[in-house]
Amino acid sequence: MRVAVVGATGMVGRKMLQVMEERSFPVDVLLPVGQSTVGQFVEFNGTKVEVMSMERALEAAPDVALFSAGGSTSTEWAPRFAAKGTTVIDNSSAWRMDKDKKLVVPEVNGEVLELSDRIIANPNCSTIQMVVALKPLYDRYGIRRLIISTYQSVSGTGKAAVEQMEDERAGREGKKVYPYMIDKNCIPHCDVFLPNGYTKEEMKLVNETRKILGDDKLSVTATAVRVPVDGGHSESVNVEFNEEFDMEEVRSLLSHAPGVTLVDEVAENRYPMPLYGKDTDDVYVGRLRRDESQGKTLNMWIVSDNLRKGAATNAIQIAEYLIEKHLLKPRKV
Protein backbone atom coordinates (compact mmCIF):
# COMPACT_ATOMS: atom_id res chain seq x y z
CA MET A 1 0.00 0.00 0.00
CA ARG A 2 1.48 3.32 -1.12
CA VAL A 3 0.22 6.16 1.05
CA ALA A 4 0.81 9.85 0.34
CA VAL A 5 0.33 12.43 3.09
CA VAL A 6 0.02 15.87 1.53
CA GLY A 7 0.90 18.52 4.08
CA ALA A 8 2.92 16.00 6.08
CA THR A 9 4.78 18.60 8.15
CA GLY A 10 1.69 20.54 9.25
CA MET A 11 -0.20 19.99 12.51
CA VAL A 12 -2.80 17.68 10.97
CA GLY A 13 -0.31 15.97 8.66
CA ARG A 14 1.96 15.05 11.55
CA LYS A 15 -1.06 13.86 13.48
CA MET A 16 -2.03 11.65 10.52
CA LEU A 17 1.39 9.99 10.65
CA GLN A 18 1.03 9.46 14.40
CA VAL A 19 -2.47 8.00 14.08
CA MET A 20 -1.40 5.65 11.27
CA GLU A 21 1.40 4.36 13.49
CA GLU A 22 -0.90 3.87 16.47
CA ARG A 23 -3.57 2.07 14.44
CA SER A 24 -1.06 -0.03 12.46
CA PHE A 25 -2.47 1.25 9.20
CA PRO A 26 -1.03 -0.82 6.33
CA VAL A 27 1.68 1.44 4.89
CA ASP A 28 4.30 -0.25 2.73
CA VAL A 29 5.56 2.94 1.10
CA LEU A 30 5.07 6.34 2.74
CA LEU A 31 5.13 9.39 0.47
CA PRO A 32 5.25 12.51 2.66
CA VAL A 33 4.51 15.61 0.59
CA GLY A 34 5.26 19.25 1.30
CA GLN A 35 5.35 22.49 -0.60
CA SER A 36 7.81 24.71 1.27
CA THR A 37 9.26 21.76 3.24
CA VAL A 38 10.63 19.57 0.43
CA GLY A 39 13.89 18.01 1.58
CA GLN A 40 12.97 18.01 5.24
CA PHE A 41 12.30 14.73 7.04
CA VAL A 42 9.38 13.26 8.96
CA GLU A 43 9.61 10.22 11.19
CA PHE A 44 7.33 7.24 10.65
CA ASN A 45 7.58 3.90 12.44
CA GLY A 46 11.07 4.75 13.63
CA THR A 47 12.38 5.69 10.17
CA LYS A 48 13.11 9.13 8.78
CA VAL A 49 11.44 9.73 5.44
CA GLU A 50 12.26 12.66 3.18
CA VAL A 51 9.49 15.09 2.26
CA MET A 52 8.96 15.15 -1.49
CA SER A 53 7.33 17.44 -4.02
CA MET A 54 3.76 17.08 -5.22
CA GLU A 55 4.98 16.18 -8.71
CA ARG A 56 7.16 13.35 -7.41
CA ALA A 57 4.34 11.94 -5.30
CA LEU A 58 1.98 12.09 -8.27
CA GLU A 59 4.47 10.13 -10.39
CA ALA A 60 4.59 7.45 -7.68
CA ALA A 61 0.83 6.83 -8.18
CA PRO A 62 -0.11 6.24 -4.52
CA ASP A 63 -3.05 4.01 -3.70
CA VAL A 64 -4.41 6.57 -1.26
CA ALA A 65 -3.53 10.23 -0.67
CA LEU A 66 -4.45 11.99 2.55
CA PHE A 67 -4.65 15.72 1.85
CA SER A 68 -4.28 18.35 4.55
CA ALA A 69 -2.70 21.31 2.80
CA GLY A 70 -5.56 23.78 2.29
CA GLY A 71 -8.39 24.22 -0.16
CA SER A 72 -6.45 25.73 -3.07
CA THR A 73 -3.94 22.87 -3.03
CA SER A 74 -6.75 20.31 -2.93
CA THR A 75 -8.65 22.01 -5.74
CA GLU A 76 -5.59 21.93 -7.99
CA TRP A 77 -4.05 18.58 -7.11
CA ALA A 78 -6.76 16.19 -5.87
CA PRO A 79 -8.26 15.70 -9.36
CA ARG A 80 -4.78 15.01 -10.77
CA PHE A 81 -4.16 12.28 -8.18
CA ALA A 82 -7.67 10.90 -8.74
CA ALA A 83 -7.01 10.72 -12.48
CA LYS A 84 -4.04 8.46 -11.66
CA GLY A 85 -6.40 6.08 -9.86
CA THR A 86 -5.48 7.33 -6.38
CA THR A 87 -8.21 7.53 -3.75
CA VAL A 88 -7.98 11.01 -2.26
CA ILE A 89 -9.28 11.73 1.24
CA ASP A 90 -9.31 15.49 1.57
CA ASN A 91 -9.33 17.39 4.85
CA SER A 92 -9.96 20.85 3.38
CA SER A 93 -13.30 22.48 2.65
CA ALA A 94 -12.72 22.29 -1.11
CA TRP A 95 -14.98 19.32 -1.87
CA ARG A 96 -17.30 19.08 1.12
CA MET A 97 -20.35 20.65 -0.47
CA ASP A 98 -19.69 19.37 -4.00
CA LYS A 99 -22.82 17.42 -4.89
CA ASP A 100 -20.73 14.76 -6.64
CA LYS A 101 -18.39 14.13 -3.67
CA LYS A 102 -19.16 12.12 -0.54
CA LEU A 103 -18.79 13.82 2.86
CA VAL A 104 -18.07 11.01 5.28
CA VAL A 105 -17.88 10.16 8.96
CA PRO A 106 -17.54 6.35 8.97
CA GLU A 107 -19.65 5.76 12.11
CA VAL A 108 -22.42 7.90 10.66
CA ASN A 109 -22.63 7.39 6.89
CA GLY A 110 -19.77 5.17 5.77
CA GLU A 111 -22.23 3.09 3.76
CA VAL A 112 -22.47 5.83 1.09
CA LEU A 113 -18.93 5.05 -0.11
CA GLU A 114 -18.52 3.24 -3.41
CA LEU A 115 -15.66 1.84 -5.47
CA SER A 116 -15.97 4.74 -7.92
CA ASP A 117 -15.32 7.41 -5.26
CA ARG A 118 -11.92 8.90 -6.03
CA ILE A 119 -12.18 12.14 -4.01
CA ILE A 120 -13.77 11.80 -0.57
CA ALA A 121 -14.27 14.81 1.69
CA ASN A 122 -13.40 14.79 5.39
CA PRO A 123 -15.88 17.06 7.22
CA ASN A 124 -15.09 20.05 9.40
CA CYS A 125 -13.80 19.19 12.88
CA SER A 126 -16.75 20.65 14.79
CA THR A 127 -19.22 18.90 12.49
CA ILE A 128 -17.57 15.48 12.85
CA GLN A 129 -17.81 15.26 16.62
CA MET A 130 -21.39 16.52 16.68
CA VAL A 131 -22.81 14.11 14.08
CA VAL A 132 -21.11 11.14 15.78
CA ALA A 133 -23.06 11.99 18.93
CA LEU A 134 -26.29 12.85 17.13
CA LYS A 135 -26.49 9.86 14.78
CA PRO A 136 -28.06 7.30 17.19
CA LEU A 137 -30.54 9.91 18.41
CA TYR A 138 -31.40 11.02 14.89
CA ASP A 139 -32.10 7.42 13.86
CA ARG A 140 -34.36 6.82 16.87
CA TYR A 141 -36.31 10.07 17.25
CA GLY A 142 -35.64 12.18 14.19
CA ILE A 143 -34.35 15.73 14.66
CA ARG A 144 -36.23 18.89 13.77
CA ARG A 145 -33.81 21.61 14.90
CA LEU A 146 -30.29 22.12 16.30
CA ILE A 147 -29.03 25.19 18.17
CA ILE A 148 -25.24 24.98 18.48
CA SER A 149 -22.66 26.99 20.39
CA THR A 150 -19.04 25.94 19.94
CA TYR A 151 -15.99 26.56 22.12
CA GLN A 152 -13.13 25.86 19.74
CA SER A 153 -9.44 25.30 20.42
CA VAL A 154 -6.81 27.59 18.93
CA SER A 155 -5.22 24.47 17.40
CA GLY A 156 -8.11 24.51 14.94
CA THR A 157 -6.60 27.66 13.44
CA GLY A 158 -3.13 26.14 13.22
CA LYS A 159 0.34 26.17 14.68
CA ALA A 160 0.70 29.96 14.50
CA ALA A 161 -2.44 30.43 16.61
CA VAL A 162 -1.11 28.10 19.30
CA GLU A 163 2.11 30.08 19.28
CA GLN A 164 0.19 33.36 19.64
CA MET A 165 -1.53 32.06 22.76
CA GLU A 166 1.72 30.72 24.20
CA ASP A 167 3.48 34.04 23.52
CA GLU A 168 0.71 35.96 25.25
CA ARG A 169 0.83 33.68 28.28
CA ALA A 170 4.60 34.12 28.50
CA GLY A 171 4.45 37.88 27.98
CA ARG A 172 6.40 37.65 24.71
CA GLU A 173 5.88 39.67 21.55
CA GLY A 174 5.00 37.54 18.57
CA LYS A 175 2.99 37.16 15.41
CA LYS A 176 -0.75 37.78 15.80
CA VAL A 177 -3.09 35.42 13.97
CA TYR A 178 -6.27 36.70 15.60
CA PRO A 179 -7.43 40.34 15.56
CA TYR A 180 -7.43 40.32 19.37
CA MET A 181 -5.58 38.72 22.24
CA ILE A 182 -6.77 35.11 22.65
CA ASP A 183 -5.30 34.34 26.08
CA LYS A 184 -7.79 35.21 28.83
CA ASN A 185 -10.33 35.94 26.11
CA CYS A 186 -13.04 34.41 23.92
CA ILE A 187 -13.43 35.54 20.30
CA PRO A 188 -16.83 34.94 18.61
CA HIS A 189 -15.16 34.77 15.22
CA CYS A 190 -14.10 31.46 13.60
CA ASP A 191 -13.14 31.81 9.93
CA VAL A 192 -14.39 34.75 7.85
CA PHE A 193 -17.73 36.54 8.10
CA LEU A 194 -20.27 36.00 5.32
CA PRO A 195 -22.91 38.44 3.99
CA ASN A 196 -25.58 36.83 6.21
CA GLY A 197 -23.63 37.77 9.37
CA TYR A 198 -22.56 34.20 10.13
CA THR A 199 -19.01 32.94 9.80
CA LYS A 200 -17.92 30.19 7.42
CA GLU A 201 -17.37 27.91 10.42
CA GLU A 202 -20.96 28.42 11.55
CA MET A 203 -22.35 27.73 8.09
CA LYS A 204 -20.20 24.59 7.81
CA LEU A 205 -22.10 23.25 10.82
CA VAL A 206 -25.36 24.04 9.05
CA ASN A 207 -24.62 22.69 5.60
CA GLU A 208 -22.32 19.76 6.41
CA THR A 209 -24.67 18.37 9.07
CA ARG A 210 -27.54 18.34 6.60
CA LYS A 211 -25.43 16.62 3.95
CA ILE A 212 -23.99 13.94 6.26
CA LEU A 213 -27.36 13.09 7.79
CA GLY A 214 -29.06 13.34 4.38
CA ASP A 215 -31.69 15.76 5.65
CA ASP A 216 -32.07 19.07 3.80
CA LYS A 217 -35.06 20.00 5.96
CA LEU A 218 -33.10 19.94 9.22
CA SER A 219 -33.07 23.39 10.85
CA VAL A 220 -29.62 24.34 12.18
CA THR A 221 -28.24 27.55 13.64
CA ALA A 222 -24.80 28.02 15.15
CA THR A 223 -22.45 30.40 16.95
CA ALA A 224 -18.75 29.48 16.82
CA VAL A 225 -16.33 30.88 19.41
CA ARG A 226 -12.56 30.59 19.68
CA VAL A 227 -11.38 29.94 23.26
CA PRO A 228 -7.90 29.82 24.86
CA VAL A 229 -7.56 26.02 24.83
CA ASP A 230 -4.74 24.33 22.92
CA GLY A 231 -6.47 21.07 22.05
CA GLY A 232 -10.11 19.95 21.85
CA HIS A 233 -13.36 21.51 20.72
CA SER A 234 -16.44 21.70 22.96
CA GLU A 235 -20.05 22.19 21.86
CA SER A 236 -23.29 22.98 23.59
CA VAL A 237 -26.06 21.51 21.44
CA ASN A 238 -29.81 21.98 21.90
CA VAL A 239 -31.62 19.19 20.03
CA GLU A 240 -35.33 19.37 19.20
CA PHE A 241 -36.58 15.91 18.22
CA ASN A 242 -39.53 14.97 16.04
CA GLU A 243 -40.73 12.53 18.70
CA GLU A 244 -40.83 12.51 22.49
CA PHE A 245 -37.77 10.86 24.01
CA ASP A 246 -36.94 8.85 27.10
CA MET A 247 -33.86 10.01 28.98
CA GLU A 248 -32.74 6.53 29.98
CA GLU A 249 -33.08 5.38 26.38
CA VAL A 250 -31.01 8.37 25.27
CA ARG A 251 -28.28 7.36 27.70
CA SER A 252 -28.40 3.77 26.48
CA LEU A 253 -28.24 4.81 22.82
CA LEU A 254 -25.22 7.02 23.45
CA SER A 255 -23.51 4.42 25.64
CA HIS A 256 -23.62 1.89 22.81
CA ALA A 257 -22.91 4.27 19.92
CA PRO A 258 -19.62 3.63 18.06
CA GLY A 259 -17.02 6.27 18.83
CA VAL A 260 -18.97 7.79 21.74
CA THR A 261 -18.03 7.81 25.42
CA LEU A 262 -20.75 8.92 27.82
CA VAL A 263 -19.40 10.96 30.75
CA ASP A 264 -22.41 12.23 32.66
CA GLU A 265 -22.17 11.74 36.42
CA VAL A 266 -22.75 15.32 37.55
CA ALA A 267 -23.13 14.34 41.20
CA GLU A 268 -19.47 13.33 41.04
CA ASN A 269 -18.47 16.34 38.90
CA ARG A 270 -17.85 14.09 35.90
CA TYR A 271 -18.56 15.66 32.51
CA PRO A 272 -16.66 15.99 29.23
CA MET A 273 -13.80 18.48 29.03
CA PRO A 274 -10.98 19.07 26.54
CA LEU A 275 -8.55 17.98 29.27
CA TYR A 276 -10.02 14.46 29.02
CA GLY A 277 -10.46 14.42 25.26
CA LYS A 278 -7.03 15.59 24.17
CA ASP A 279 -4.91 12.94 22.44
CA THR A 280 -7.81 10.48 22.25
CA ASP A 281 -10.15 9.51 19.40
CA ASP A 282 -13.53 9.31 21.12
CA VAL A 283 -16.36 11.81 21.16
CA TYR A 284 -17.31 12.55 24.76
CA VAL A 285 -20.92 13.39 25.62
CA GLY A 286 -22.45 14.60 28.88
CA ARG A 287 -24.56 17.24 30.67
CA LEU A 288 -27.64 15.49 29.30
CA ARG A 289 -30.84 17.20 30.41
CA ARG A 290 -34.26 18.07 29.15
CA ASP A 291 -34.87 21.57 27.87
CA GLU A 292 -37.54 22.65 30.34
CA SER A 293 -38.62 25.54 28.11
CA GLN A 294 -40.13 23.30 25.39
CA GLY A 295 -41.05 19.70 24.70
CA LYS A 296 -39.13 17.01 22.81
CA THR A 297 -35.86 18.90 23.35
CA LEU A 298 -32.54 17.79 24.83
CA ASN A 299 -29.46 19.73 25.89
CA MET A 300 -26.10 18.00 25.49
CA TRP A 301 -22.39 18.84 25.77
CA ILE A 302 -19.97 17.31 23.25
CA VAL A 303 -16.14 17.32 23.39
CA SER A 304 -13.50 15.81 21.11
CA ASP A 305 -9.89 16.29 20.04
CA ASN A 306 -10.18 18.42 16.90
CA LEU A 307 -6.83 17.34 15.47
CA ARG A 308 -7.57 13.64 15.91
CA LYS A 309 -11.23 12.65 15.47
CA GLY A 310 -11.93 16.08 14.05
CA ALA A 311 -9.34 15.68 11.30
CA ALA A 312 -6.56 13.06 11.18
CA THR A 313 -8.28 10.07 12.77
CA ASN A 314 -11.48 10.46 10.78
CA ALA A 315 -9.46 10.53 7.54
CA ILE A 316 -7.60 7.35 8.54
CA GLN A 317 -10.90 5.72 9.55
CA ILE A 318 -12.30 6.47 6.09
CA ALA A 319 -9.32 4.69 4.53
CA GLU A 320 -9.71 1.78 6.95
CA TYR A 321 -13.41 1.51 6.04
CA LEU A 322 -12.53 1.44 2.34
CA ILE A 323 -10.03 -1.37 2.95
CA GLU A 324 -12.50 -3.32 5.10
CA LYS A 325 -15.19 -3.09 2.41
CA HIS A 326 -12.70 -3.98 -0.34
CA LEU A 327 -13.08 -0.55 -1.93
CA LEU A 328 -9.36 0.21 -1.60
CA LYS A 329 -6.62 -2.24 -2.55
CA PRO A 330 -2.96 -1.84 -3.51
CA ARG A 331 -2.56 -1.52 -7.26
CA LYS A 332 0.24 -2.74 -9.51
CA VAL A 333 2.22 0.07 -11.14
CA 127 – CA 138 distance, rounded (Å): 15
pTM: 0.97
| CATH number of the domain to which 38 belongs | 3.40.50.720
- 329 within a domain of the structure (yes/no): no
Q: Which residues contact 324 (CB under 8 A, 6 or more apart)?
A: none
Report pLDDT for 61: 96
pLDDT tens for the chain, residues 1 to 333: 999 999 999 999 999 999 999 999 999 999 999 989 999 999 999 999 999 999 999 999 999 999 999 999 999 999 999 999 999 999 999 999 999 999 999 999 999 999 999 999 999 999 999 999 999 999 999 999 999 999 999 999 999 999 999 999 999 999 999 999 999 999 999 999 999 999 999 999 999 999 999 999 999 999 999 999 999 999 999 999 999 999 999 999 999 999 999 999 999 999 999 998 999 999 999 999 999 999 999 999 999 999 999 999 999 999 999 999 999 999 876
Same domain for 58 and 166: no
Active-site residue list: 125, 233
Q: Are residues 37 and 161 in the same domain?
A: no
- What single DSSP character describes residue 265? B
Are residues 253 and 238 located together in one domain of the fold?
yes
Residue 333 lies in a domain: no
Domain boundaries, position 183: 126-305
Task: Taking each helix axis as running N to C, give the angle between helix 200-213 and helix 125-141, from 0 to 180 degrees, rounded to the nearest 10.
Answer: 40
138 and 282 share one domain: yes
My answer on whether 113 and 130 are in the same domain is no
Task: Tell whether 93 and 133 lie within a shared domain.
Answer: no
Tell me: do 224 and 281 sit in the same domain.
yes
Same domain, 163 and 299: yes
Report pLDDT for 331: 86
DSSP 290: E
Same domain, 286 and 157: yes
Residue 317 falls inside a structural domain: yes
In a domain, 50, yes or no: yes
Q: Give dist(CA 90, CA 93) in Å, integer.
A: 8
CATH number at 224 reads 3.30.360.10
Asked if 211 and 139 sit in the same domain, the reply is yes
What residues contact 235, with CB distance under 8 A and at least 6 apart?
126, 129, 130, 148, 149, 150, 151, 301, 302, 303
- Rounded Cα distance between 145 and 195, Å, is 23
Q: Is residue 319 part of a domain?
A: yes
Residue 263, in any domain of the structure? yes
Same domain, 164 and 111: no
Q: Per the structure, how many domains does the chain have?
A: 2
Position 331 in a domain: no
Pair 46, 142 in one domain: no
CA distance 181 to 14: 27
In a domain, 214, yes or no: yes
- What's the Cα-to-Cα distance from 95 to each of 2, 62, 76, 208, 235, rounded to whole Å? 23, 20, 12, 11, 24
